Amino acid sequence: MSAEQFNNVTVDAKANISYDGRCSSHTVSFDDGSKKMLGVILPCDEEVMQYHFATHTSERIEIISGECEVKINGEGDFSYYRAGQSFMVAGESGFNLRTEQIVQYICHLEG
């Protein structure tokens, strides 16, 4: 179950922006040294049919709203995820994501 809010955190004011503003996130740092990213991904269209994201550390991506299809590097097919579900991506890897609606997520940086 996802937290509705995080208390006693530091938030980077400058967003991580990619795909000409179609994807953006803010990094949240906790007192214990852990970090999360809170983000929004806009729907794909004819100009951007899918997004590709690289990972440097292992990540658990939790879908907060919306739905999407994800193909993790090395996998053959896309898998469907919706609000309340999450998927894991290994560090030094990546994944493709496609969606027809706005997706909000929490990326739990676990490595």
Is 3 a member of any domain?
no
Is 44 a member of any domain?
yes
Residue 2 pLDDT exceeds 70: no
Q: What is the 3-state secondary structure (H, E, C) of 62-98?
A: EEEECEEEEEECCCCCCEEEECCCEEEECCCEEEEEE
Percentage of residues in the chain having pLDDT higher than 90: 94
pLDDT tens readout for residues 69-100: 999 999 999 999 999 999 999 999 999 999 99
Count of structural domains within the chain:
1
Tell me the residue range of the domain where 64 lies: 9-109
66: left (phi over 0), alpha (psi -120 to 50) or beta: left
- Whichever domain contains 24, its CATH number is 2.60.120.10
pLDDT for 1 = 47
Q: How far lies 32's CA from each of 13, 37, 58, 108, in Å? A: 20, 15, 18, 14
Query: What's this model's pTM, rounded to 2 decimal places?
Result: 0.94
Is 4 a member of any domain?
no
pLDDT tens readout for residues 5-26: 899 999 999 999 999 999 999 9
Would you mind telling me the total number of residues written for the chain in this entry?
111
